[in-house]
Amino acid sequence: MTERIGEIIETDSFTFVAESFVLNRPPALGSLVKAQAGRDTWVYGVVAFGETVSVDPARGAMRRSRPGAYDDAVYASHPELEHLLHTKFTVIPVGSLAGGRISQRLPAQPPPMHYSVYACDADEVGRFSERRLYLRTLATAQVQVPLEHVLAAHLVWTYEQRGRDEAWLEQAALEVAGLLQQDVERLLAVLYAVDPEA
């Protein structure tokens, strides 16, 4: 089993939100994660947003360090921060695994509340990303984040997970170009961000 990284605290058909088990350490923007949605069904999703916020939204977070203090020292001298803050991340579902078969479309059911979220290892990323139909789902998601940056982060992260597979990156960039051809500014933002020479 791959690493368990969070627990779902909000879920609907188009996104789910999980609380990270490690403060200030959400999974990487654009990374592929998975959550169980049924006995033999898993939902795959792309991390679209991460944040560390106060547990009590009415109070907000306050500065804890003294001038000149190192960041790590703040957490060492204030262990109660673990109880005052939490890190959460938003995931866009882009596919599923059921009966050993990968589907690259919006899953029929979202993963349930309080189910675990797991990181995907390089082999699983390779199998899921072999086809790239899910990029359309990702590019057209209705979320309050700039999707061109999520797309770019996902392409770069997947390229690295696939062992710096330049042929895969080139094909994925061409598919994204087709998806965003009517929005040149968003397309250029993605293409500049995924250029291995940049």
Segments forming the whole domain that contains residue 160: 4-194
Amino acid 177: pLDDT = 93
Taking alpha carbons only, the member of 73, 27, 37, 82 closest to residue 55 is 82
Token pair, residue 90, equals 């938003």
Integer Cα distance of 181 and 174 in angstroms: 10
For residues 55-59, average pLDDT: 71
Percentage of the chain lying above the pLDDT 70 cut: 85
Amino acid 78: pLDDT = 53
33, pLDDT greater than 90 = yes
Give per-residue pLDDT as tens, 74-127. Answer: 555 455 666 788 999 999 999 999 999 999 999 988 999 999 999 999 999 999
Q: Which of residues 84 and 33 earns the better pLDDT score?
A: 33
Amino acid 81: pLDDT = 61
Give the predicted TM-score (pTM) of the model: 0.88
Amino acid 143: pLDDT = 86
Our count of domains for the chain comes to: 1
Average per-residue pLDDT in the chain? 88
Taking alpha carbons only, the member of 108, 191, 187, 106 closest to residue 141 is 106
